[in-house]
Chain A
Amino acid sequence: EVKLVESGGGLVKPGGSLRLSCAASGFTFSSYSMNWVRQAPGKGLEWVSSISASSSYIYYADSVKGRFTISRDNAKNSLYLRMNSLRAEDTAVYYCARDPEPNSSSWRLDYWGQGSLVTVSS
């Protein structure tokens, strides 16, 4: 069974940093591109970042470029999102999500974690 479990969310002050983790199981993690998608309270979905299976290709939304860093450790079956210079508008539930196309990118998201809430407030 494919499972994605996020952790690392919490309350942080503006300008602060946080690292989210996503633990994957039930599939060959090293073969799949992964994504972060966020959802502000009561709002819609916003794509944040993508990383290819081997970390060769990395993409960011303009809203987080230069502040957030996506990475993965295939030996640990884990995906990460390092978030620096956090702003109030970064407050959201952050989901990790898998692309179902092995060693490629279909840009659809077939499995999602339960989400991790990040609150940026003084």
Chain B
Amino acid sequence: DIQMTQSPSSLSASVGDRVTITCQASQDISNNLNWYQQKPGKAPKLLIYDASNLETGVPSRFSGSGSGTDFTFTISSLQPEDIAAYYCQQYDYLPLTFGGGTKVEIK
């Protein structure tokens, strides 16, 4: 199985800060990576697909980049409503696997 290692596991930042989360795959997955946001008590929501494509309706402050084994998810200006856990997910090979998640909090 492809292992997805996300870091950090949690972070605390101020409103307006730039937030960066990384996801590393255990092998080359090209750009076959998605990012999800999960707010407390809610289902996950797709934000970014194919590593860098913004899902329809998602604010432009969210972005993704990377290919191969190293990927980055960025919130350009953190907003209070962005408090959530964020997960990467690879789909290069089954089984689909998710990163361990990054919990984002407001400082």
- Interface residues of chain A, those whose CB is within 8 Å of chain B, are 35, 37, 44-47, 50, 59, 61-62, 95, 97, 106-110, 112-115
Known A107-B32, A114-B43; contact A45-B94, beta-carbon cutoff 8 A: no
Does the CB pair B49–A47 fall under 8 Å?
no
Cross-chain pairs A/B with CB under 8 angstroms, 21 sampled: A35-B96, A37-B44, A44-B98, A44-B100, A44-B101, A45-B38, A45-B44, A45-B87, A45-B101, A47-B95, A47-B98, A62-B1, A95-B43, A106-B91, A107-B91, A108-B46, A108-B49, A108-B50, A109-B44, A109-B46, A112-B45
Q: How many of B's residues come within 8 Å of A, CB to CB?
A: 24
Cα–Cα, bound, A62→B95 (Å): 8
Nearest B residue to A109 via CB reads B46
Tell me whether A45 and B43 are in contact (CB under 8 A): no
Query: Could you tell me the distance between the alpha carbons of A112 and B46 in the complex, rounded to whole angstroms?
Result: 9
